């Protein structure tokens, strides 16, 4: 099996938010002519100030909590440190940039690193002690995200881009002014993938370059294929051929969704449309070591069966847990309770990974 195939088999394929994120290279930002670099610097500075206050209060809360001097405290501090480091990179690259919108990738990274921190704070028993600081930081982060035309945390930021529920110019169809080219034969067809919240995405690519996409059966969005890029509105991704279908890879941050030509039920017994509530022992955040390269894998499973997987400091992957069956795109594994966690067994090659609970 290829290295890529092994990566898929341990469920660390990056399966990210519906098709792709906006890219600056293909469109002008809403605020590009509204804000100066100094204006945006002030917005980022507010985020830095609120984040510094949150970090100090969070550290004090941990020191006065039952998990002080435990591995769990180390894990929480690691998540906050990753977020702080991404914010430092944003400031550094912003100061060196000629134009403020050049650092949009760095803003995306800050939002990604803040996401696991956001999930962690909402679960902590001493959340109320730092709730005000976190709420302020989240508001400032969403303001920065909105400035750069991208979603933030908990529905904040800018949500005017592609969401699978809207049509783009062209009278509810394809714009006659769009440039299209013939896709490779392996890219033509109808594909099925899983979005970041477990939503079911249907993607169809025609031989003339026209494309459509629908999420959970909602109204169709119209896109196009042109010289290796699949574009919906202002959002673009490259196409990569895989063993069972295709991957869409964001031109902004390399985040990916895997698609298969197999339908949702896939001939199995799992009702992925309705799903089922996971067992209590499978709900929470868990960690494991990748058998391929020894990197750290973090998996979070919600009460609704939504699954987020992060490998090392990479981009998150998304899937669904129904019963004891974990699906990431077209790939599945089985979960079995094991000590203070569980093990996953790949349906593809039987590879097993053991996960230990970090928190509930």
Q: Based on the fold, state whether residues 33 and 135 are members of the same structural domain.
A: yes
Q: Which domain CATH number covers 319?
A: 2.40.128.50
Note whether residue 169 is domain-resident: no
* Of the residues 260, 288, 317, the one at which a domain ends: 260
pLDDT digits (tens, 9 = 90+) for 38-71: 999 999 999 999 898 888 888 888 888 888 888 8
What is the rounded radius of gyration, in angstroms, for the C-alpha atoms of the chain? 21
Mean pLDDT of 133-151: 87
pLDDT digits (tens, 9 = 90+) for 5-19: 333 332 223 333 333
Note whether residue 87 is domain-resident: yes
pLDDT confidence of residue 354: 94
Strand, helix or coil for residue 41: helix
Note whether residue 291 is domain-resident: yes
Q: What domain range is 203 assigned to? A: 16-23+177-260
Q: Position of tokens 């881009």?
A: 161
215 against 166, higher pLDDT: 215
Q: Which residues of 233-262 are buried (b: 16+ CB within 10 A; e: fewer)?
A: bbbbbebeebeebbbbbbbbbebbbbbbee
Q: Based on the fold, state whether residues 228 and 330 are members of the same structural domain.
A: no
pLDDT confidence of residue 19: 36
pLDDT digits (tens, 9 = 90+) for 288-318: 988 877 888 888 888 878 888 887 766 666 7
Mean pLDDT lowest among 119-128, 281-290, 316-325: 119-128
User: How far apart (Å, rounded) are the C-alpha atoms in residues 246 and 257?
Assistant: 9
pLDDT confidence of residue 355: 95
Cα–Cα nearest to 202, from 223, 186, 185, 181 = 223
Note whether residue 41 is domain-resident: yes
Strand, helix or coil for residue 285: strand
Note whether residue 160 is domain-resident: no
Note whether residue 89 is domain-resident: yes
121 against 340, higher pLDDT: 340
Q: Based on the fold, state whether residues 236 and 291 are members of the same structural domain.
A: no
| Helices (H) then strands (E): counts for the chain | 5, 16
Note whether residue 157 is domain-resident: no
Note whether residue 103 is domain-resident: yes
54 against 34, higher pLDDT: 54
pLDDT confidence of residue 229: 84
Mean pLDDT of 153-174: 49
User: How far apart (Å, rounded) are the C-alpha atoms in residues 358 and 352?
Assistant: 19
pTM of the shown model: 0.43
Q: Based on the fold, state whether residues 256 and 288 are members of the same structural domain.
A: no
The total number of structural domains that make up the chain: 3
């Amino acid at each position: 099996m290829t290295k890529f195939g092994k990566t898929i088999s341990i469920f660390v394929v990056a399966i990210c938010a519906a098709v792709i994120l906006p890219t600056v290279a293909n469109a002008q930002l809403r605020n590009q002519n509204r804000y100066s670099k100094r204006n945006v610097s002030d917005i980022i500075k507010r985020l830095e100030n609120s984040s510094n206050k949150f970090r100090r209060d969070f550290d004090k809360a941990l020191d006065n909590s039952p998990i002080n001097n435990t591995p769990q405290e180390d894990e929480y501090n690691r998540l906050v440190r990753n977020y702080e480091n991404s914010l430092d990179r944003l400031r550094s690259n912003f100061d060196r940039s000629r134009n403020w919108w050049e650092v949009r990738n760095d803003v995306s990274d800050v939002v990604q690193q803040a996401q696991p921190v956001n999930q962690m704070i909402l679960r902590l028993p001493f959340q109320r002690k730092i709730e005000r600081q976190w709420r302020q930081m989240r508001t400032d982060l969403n303001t920065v995200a909105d400035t750069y035309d991208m979603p933030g945390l908990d529905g904040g930021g800018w949500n005017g881009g592609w969401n699978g529920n809207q049509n783009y110019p062209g009278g509810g169809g394809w714009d006659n002014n769009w440039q299209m080219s013939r896709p490779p034969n392996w890219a033509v067809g109808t594909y099925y993938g899983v979005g970041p919240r477990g939503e079911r995405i249907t993607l169809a690519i025609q031989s003339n370059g026209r494309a459509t996409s629908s999420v959970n059966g909602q109204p169709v969005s119209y896109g196009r294929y042109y010289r290796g890029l699949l574009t919906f509105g202002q959002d673009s991704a490259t196409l990569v051929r895989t063993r069972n279908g295709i991957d869409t890879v964001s031109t902004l941050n390399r985040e990916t969704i895997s698609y298969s030509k197999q339908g949702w039920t896939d001939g199995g017994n799992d009702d992925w449309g309705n799903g089922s509530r996971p067992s209590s022992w499978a709900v929470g955040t868990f960690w494991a070591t990748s058998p391929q390269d020894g990197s750290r894998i973090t998996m979070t499973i919600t009460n609704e069966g939504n699954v987020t997987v992060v490998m090392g400091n990479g981009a998150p992957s998304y899937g669904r847990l129904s019963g004891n069956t974990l699906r990431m795109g077209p790939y599945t594994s089985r979960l079995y309770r094991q000590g203070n966690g569980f093990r996953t067994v790949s349906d593809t090659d039987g590879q097993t990974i053991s996960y230990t609970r970090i928190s509930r």
